[in-house]
Amino acid sequence: MSDPQTRVPGASADQLEWHRVHPVTPLVRAWAAVLVLLFVLGNQALDSLSSLGEVAGQVVRLWWVAVLALLLFLLVVAGVSWLAWRMTTYAVDDTAAHLRKGILFRQQRHARLDRLQAVDVRQPLVARLFGLAELTLEVAGGADSAVRIGFLRLDDANALRADLLARAAGVKARRAAGTREPAQAEVRDQAAVREQVTSDQQSDAAGVPGAATGVVPDAEAPRDAVAAVAAPVPEPVLEAPENAVYEVPPGRLVASLLRLPVIWIILLAFVGLGVAVGVTRNFGLLGSVLPGLFGAGAYLFSRFAGEFGFRAAISPDGIRLRHGLLETRAQTIPPGRVQALSLTQGFWWRGKGWWRVKVNVAGYGVEGNSETQHVLLPVGPRDEALTALWLVLPDLRTDEVAPLLDEGLTGDARTDRWFTTSPRTARIFDPISWRRNGFAVAERVLLLRTGRLTRSLVVVPHERTQSLGVEQGPWQRRRGVASFAVHSTPGPVGPRVPHLASGVVAGLLDEQSVRARTARAHQPPERWMEQVTALPEVADGRDGTA
């Protein structure tokens, strides 16, 4: 069992170059366990100390035994973690990322890069202290399918991410197995192409009202990863330059959280609690309500900490999102990986005109650890929300579509020109928002609008439709309506419109499956840079809309 490790680096059957993660990794992963262990042991030591206080001599002897046992235990733990570290190796080639781990049960995982859905660089609090980061490759393979490479030094993680994205984009795929210099030259060449693209998109961003606060004129500054490339990446890869698009100031984030209904529930609970305790003099009530309050507070704090310092940027490698107060996360979502998108406005955000933008990305959904992973814009005015939408779907940034989006965000049946809404017979099912519930079809996307108090607009690109569903209950049938749903990958966005007229649903079902099929036939390649260089007509089409 112990001899595989001797031939791990570089000596495997193929010519993959295997790398190790940072040696501090076990400590960073297990710090909580170590703390708990120390705490428990300390507690028990104290207990035994106090209970055996009268036989002091024996205690001293036992104390040494305990210390010895602890040391032995720590030694075993350290040995096992050292072994685990030795056995964890990763490698990257042009088509896949490989990860090997496990001591007794060896696990080898190969993630195909053309199926790459997103790359996250995550820094938990403890890892930040060491300047380490974990790289997560999402490949949409169901539960726990992500490839986690960690921990690495932050610079190495960034360089590895740039390398992975370049390979996944197809920049390196056509490179011949030549000498080092031409390869380098081509990489730089491709980087130049990327810069070209970015400057195009930059002019896009500059045109967006209220956006483009920190636009870098000549894309010089963001090449931070170039100098810092170290051993893990054999050839330095230029990180695709990026342009900042929007950021969420902390003040706005706090204000937006204060406008959530949770706050009012908490306040009401406090007031009610105060009154109840004041009247009954029964302080036991406090204990009964506190867990709920803690839960609400924890939710608020997790949202604040998760969405703190939210910044979005666009690069040829996709959308870059950075956020987090304690644990920071830098997400990269390559082009065409967003399956569905929603813009929502809770009732209490309406006064400010704020919107929240969430996305479904395959691979994110199954993790379910944090809601923030799905957030494209935590809170922002309408302009920024539309900018976020355009980051995902640049085709929607035309003057023709603008009134359509307006209608989707705030319109209803009385002002509609494009949206098809519920018939009047559906009023009894949804007396408040029957005029809002509806859909509209644009060239590239399906727009689903629901909710009057909490407004919501869901945008699904035609080529991202997984399957379609219709449901109808007995009462709905008497009223001649049915509910329509587009099935998307797991995530916070559920594209669905209730209570549309049956005939409309029948038509939509037919047309939408045709549209989805046509759009899929024309969808851009998985390796997104190939369309820039190899398919000029696609690039032309994009320029035409911009």
Partner 1 sequence: MTSPAPEPRPGAGADAGAPASPAASSSDPFQPADVTWARVSPRLIPVRWILVAFWVGLPALVCAVLAVLLTVWLWIPAGVLAAALLWAVLLIPRQVRAIGYAERDDDLLIRKGILFRQLVVVPYGRMQFVDVSAGPLARRFGIATVQLHTAAASTDAEIPGLAPGEAERLRDRLTAHGEARLAGL
Task: Point out which residues bind partner 1 (CB under 8 A).
Answer: 115, 117, 140, 337, 339, 362, 365, 400-401, 404, 413-414, 416-425, 435, 438, 440-443, 463-474, 477, 480, 482, 485, 487-490, 494, 501-507, 509-511, 513-518, 520, 523, 526
Shortest distance (Å) from residue 142 CB to partner 1: 9
Minimum distance of partner 1 from residue 112's CB (angstroms): 11
Q: How far is the CB of 418 from partner 1 (least distance, A)?
A: 5
Minimum CB distance to partner 1, residue 521 (Å): 8
Please calculate the CA angle 31-33-36 and round it to the nearest 5 degrees.
110
Q: Least distance in Å: CB of 536 to partner 1?
A: 20
**Closest approach of Cβ 421 to partner 1, in Å?**
5
CB of 527 to partner 1, least distance (A): 11
3-state SS, residue 355? strand
- Residues with Cβ within 8 Å of residue 222, at least 6 apart in sequence: 216, 239, 241, 242, 315
User: Please, which residue, 85 or 484, has the CB nearer to partner 1?
Assistant: 484
Read out DSSP for 184-207? HHHHHHHHHHHHHHHHHHHHHHHH
Residues 135, 89, 93: CA angle, nearest 5 degrees: 75
Q: Which is nearer to partner 1, 53 or 474 (CB)?
A: 474
Q: How far is the CB of 139 from partner 1 (least distance, A)?
A: 10
**Is the Cβ of residue 354 or residue 419 nearer to partner 1 in the bound state?**
419
Give the shortest CB-96-to-partner 1 separation in angstroms: 16
* Separation of CA 46 from chain center: 45
For residue 464, the minimal CB distance to partner 1 (Å) is: 8
Query: Minimal distance in Å, beta carbon 339 to partner 1?
Result: 7
The residue (of 250 and 507) whose beta carbon lies closer to partner 1 is 507
CB nearer partner 1, residue 55 or residue 402 = 402
Among the listed residues 171, 138, 326, 302, the one whose alpha carbon sits nearest the alpha carbon of residue 239: 171
Residue 362 neighbours by CB under 8 Å, 6+ apart:
117, 138, 140, 337, 339, 489, 490
Q: In angstroms, what is the minimal distance from the CB of 498 to partner 1?
A: 14
Q: At residue 496, what is the residue type?
A: R
Burial 247-274 (b: 16+ CB within 10 A, else e): bbeeebbeebbebbebeeebeeeeeebe
Please say which residue, 88 or 422, places its beta carbon nearer to partner 1.
422
Give 327's DSSP letter: S
Neighbours of 228 (CB within 10 A): 13
Helix (H, G, I), strand (E, B) or coil at 466: coil
| Token code pair at residue 86 | 């030795």
The distance of Cα 120 from the centroid of its chain, to the nearest Å, equals 8
Residue closer to partner 1, measured from CB, 59 or 440: 440
- Closer to partner 1 by CB, 106 or 520: give it: 520
In contact, 373 and 367? CB cutoff 8 Å: yes
Q: How many CB atoms lie within 10 A of CB 457?
A: 26
Q: What's the token pair of residue 366?
A: 């199954």
Nearer to partner 1, 214 or 368 (CB): 368
- Can the peptide bond before residue 294 be classed as cis, meaning omega within 30 degrees of 0? no
For residues 101 and 515, which CB has a smaller minimum distance to partner 1 in the complex?
515
CB neighbourhood size of 5 (10 A) = 13
Place of tokens 């399918």: 145
Taking the alpha carbons of 338, 310, 266, 452 in that order, is the dihedral positive or negative? negative
Helix (H, G, I), strand (E, B) or coil at 118: strand
Q: What pairs with residue 152 in β-bridges?
A: 133
Nearer of residues 224 and 511 to partner 1, judged by Cβ: 511
Nearer to partner 1 (CB atom), residue 266 or residue 468: 468
DSSP string, 3-55: SGGGG-SS-SSS----EE--TTHHHHHHHHHHHHHHHHHHHHHHHHHHHTTT-
Smallest separation (angstroms) from partner 1 to the CB of 470: 4
Q: State the DSSP H helix or E strand holding residue 434, giving kind and residue range, or none if neither.
A: none
Residue 483 beta carbon to partner 1: minimum distance, rounded to whole angstroms: 9
How far apart CA 381 and CA 232 sit, in angstroms, is 42
Say if CB 488 and CB 342 are below 8 A apart.
no
Return the number of the residue (131 or 525) whose C-beta is nearest partner 1. Answer: 525
Question: Whose Cβ is closer to partner 1: residue 27's or residue 341's?
Answer: 341
